[in-house]
């Protein structure tokens, strides 16, 4: 690969806040402060709420079933103790929410902010995936069930509760 596309990719990742380029020193991941992570999560929540509202209004059973299958897969992986795989499936669940909402601008912005959020998260642990705790971060089935009802307001509440549970 030539230097030009690599330089362009590095420049874009720097503009998106993912990389920090220091002349004469090198390139590294941009470590976000706790405040920046909170701000990124506010933006992420707003984007996910809109994607969930679009899907709820559309109320397409085939699309919602794709999310259901991912939610079931996450639960199974957690039960098997495969937390890293469950983490990847969690990312896939949220990415799929945007893909199914079929709004390119929302999906593009989500991909940017999700990368920033993922790089700032700690490793997944069992507590992060405990569906039985009061503040369980992964209430995927609750989101799926809200989407099935076709009520954008309920989908809004479910996805907000799901996302906010990460911070609690």
**One domain, residues 2 and 16:** yes
22 and 40 co-located in one domain: no
Mean pLDDT of 8-30: 79
| pLDDT above 80: residue 133 | no
| Residues 119 and 142 placed together within one structural domain of the fold | yes
Domain check: are 57 and 122 in the same one? yes
User: Which CA distances in Å does 59 have to 49, 96, 100, 102?
Assistant: 15, 15, 11, 13
**Can you tell me the distance from the alpha carbon of 154 to that of 160, in angstroms, rounded to the nearest whole number?**
10
User: Which residue segment(s) compose the domain that 21 sits in?
Assistant: 1-30
Count of the separate structural domains present in the chain: 2
pLDDT at 19 over 60: yes
Query: Is a pLDDT exceeding 80 seen at residue 27?
Result: yes
Is the Cβ–Cβ distance between 18 and 115 less than 8 Å?
yes
Same domain for 1 and 45, yes or no, is: no
What pLDDT does residue 145 have? 94
Kindly report the average pLDDT of the chain as a whole number. 83
Q: Both 21 and 46 in a single domain?
A: no
CB 164 within 8 A of CB 135: no
Q: pTM of the predicted model, to two decimals?
A: 0.77
Whether 114 and 39 map to the same domain: the answer is: yes
| 92, 79: one domain | yes
The CATH number linked to 131 is: 1.20.120.530
- The strand pair at 26-29 and 19-22 is best described as antiparallel
Q: Is the pLDDT of residue 138 over 70?
A: no
Q: Based on the domain organization, do 25 and 50 belong to the same domain?
A: no
The span from the CA of 63 to the CA of 66, in Å, is 5
Segment 91-121, tens digit of pLDDT: 899 999 999 999 999 999 998 888 777 666 6
109 lies in the same domain as 38: yes
Task: Give the gyration radius of the chain's Cα atoms.
Answer: 17
Q: Write out pLDDT tens, residues 42-78.
A: 899 999 999 999 999 999 999 999 999 999 999 898 8
């Amino acid at each position: 690969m030539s230097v030009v596309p690599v330089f362009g990719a590095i420049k874009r990742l720097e503009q998106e806040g993912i990389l920090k380029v220091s002349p004469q020193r090198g390139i590294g991941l941009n470590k976000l402060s706790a405040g920046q992570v909170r701000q990124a999560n506010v933006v992420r929540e707003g984007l996910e709420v809109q994607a969930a509202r679009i899907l709820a209004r559309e109320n397409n059973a085939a699309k919602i079933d794709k999310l259901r299958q991912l939610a079931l897969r996450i639960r199974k992986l957690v039960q098997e103790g495969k937390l890293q795989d469950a983490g990847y499936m969690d990312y896939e669940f949220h990415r799929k929410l945007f893909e199914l909402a079929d709004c390119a601008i929302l999906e593009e912005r989500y991909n940017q902010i999700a990368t920033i959020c993922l790089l700032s998260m700690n490793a997944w642990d069992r507590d992060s995936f405990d569906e039985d705790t009061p503040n369980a971060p992964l209430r995927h089935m609750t989101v799926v069930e809200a989407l099935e009802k076709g009520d954008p307001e309920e989908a809004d509440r479910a996805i907000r509760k799901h996302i906010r549970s990460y911070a609690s």
